[in-house]
Amino acid sequence: MDTKKFKEAKEVKLINAETNQELIRHKGIVDVEDPNRIFDVVGMGYKIAQHNEVAEVVVKSLDDLGFKNESKITEIDEGARIHINIQFPELKIDVLGTGDYVTMRASLDNSYNSTTGLRLDVGAIKRDVYIYVGERFTHYYHRHTQGLLINNLEDSIRKGIETFQTKIKAEFESLAATKVDPLVASGWLNDCIEKKTIPIKYLEQIKATFDLNRSNINNLWSLYNVVCEVVSAESESIDRRKQLSQTMLSAMKKTFKAN
């Protein structure tokens, strides 16, 4: 992972154009290479987390942990924000009796323009489908304020690995062990549509995808995969994906009594 190519930001004082006096409650965050480019105007308590520093901590954390990883960094808004996607091909779970396996993945975001704080999400991916089981995944988020500690990222990644190898494995195997009759599942999805368990546009797509794969739906794991496939494709927001999939998973467990 190249950690030396990202834009850097710095703080500058702001002057009131009418009074020619310095603002005492706000400061500017600007591009180091082009100080005329203002990333954001922020309060005095704002603390910059440099993209390079964040990326370096992630690289060190991954090296210390010793697991093979595949990383991709995307710059957004002309360098005002970065997104780091990390997959761990050696960290995988064979889901009991299904022939499926999921690998651990992590994503990290940082910005200079207040579009996000410093954010780390650790979860699992099955092919190109993100699989969510809610609170059991590691999540770190901190606004750019004085309490921000970049080095907390390594602890969060380490905890994510421990959680993935224990609690997440147990959760997936429980879903796989809970049998589902496709006919009953179809009726349940119709009830979800009637009750608007989640927005109709998602439910209709979930039902259509279910109908195409009905012969392969025989447990909660396969049913939940249909949900995750749709929300992963239809929503770009990580928080929205989690919220939608978790709502559906909770409804499934109430109906089908997960083991």
**Closest-CA residue to 35 (of 11, 53, 16, 51):** 11
User: CB-side exposure of 215: number of CA atoms within 13 Å?
Assistant: 1
Domain hosting 244: range is: 178-256
Query: Based on the domain organization, do 93 and 16 belong to the same domain?
Result: no
Domain stop point among 131, 147, 174: 174
21/117 same-domain check: no
The answer to whether residues 154 and 188 belong to one domain is no
If asked whether residues 13 and 110 sit together in one domain, one would say no
The pTM of the full predicted model, rounded to 2 decimals, is: 0.78
106, 89 Cβ separation under 8 angstroms: no
Q: With CA atoms as reference, report the closest residue to 251 among 188, 160, 208, 203.
A: 188
Same domain for 157 and 125: yes
- Other residues' Cβ atoms within 10 Å of the Cβ of residue 227: 29
39 shares its domain with 66: no
Question: In this structure, what CATH number is given to the domain that contains residue 102?
Answer: 3.90.1150
Please give the pLDDT value at position 248.
Answer: 94
Q: Is the pLDDT of residue 127 over 80?
A: no
Q: 81: buried, middle or exposed (CB in 10 Å: 19+, 13-18, 0-12)?
A: buried
Residue 5 pLDDT more than 70? yes
Q: For residue 13, tell me if it sits in a domain.
A: yes
Considering the domain architecture, whether residues 164 and 213 belong to the same structural domain is answered as no
Q: Is the pLDDT of residue 3 over 60?
A: no
DSSP bridge partners of 102: 93
pLDDT tens figures, 202-245: 999 999 999 999 999 999 999 999 999 999 888 777 778 888 98
**Does residue 2 carry a pLDDT above 70?**
no
**How far apart (Å, rounded) are the C-alpha atoms in residues 102 and 192?**
27
pLDDT tens column, 243-252: 898 899 999 9
2 occurs within a structural domain: no
Per the structure, how many domains does the chain have? 3
164 and 248 part of one domain:
no
Measured distance CA(70)–CA(85) in Å, rounded: 8
pLDDT(136) > 50 = no
Of 148, 174, 200, which residue is a domain's last? 174
Q: Using one digit for the tens of pLDDT, what is the confidence trace for 164-202?
A: 888 888 888 899 999 999 999 999 999 999 999 999 999
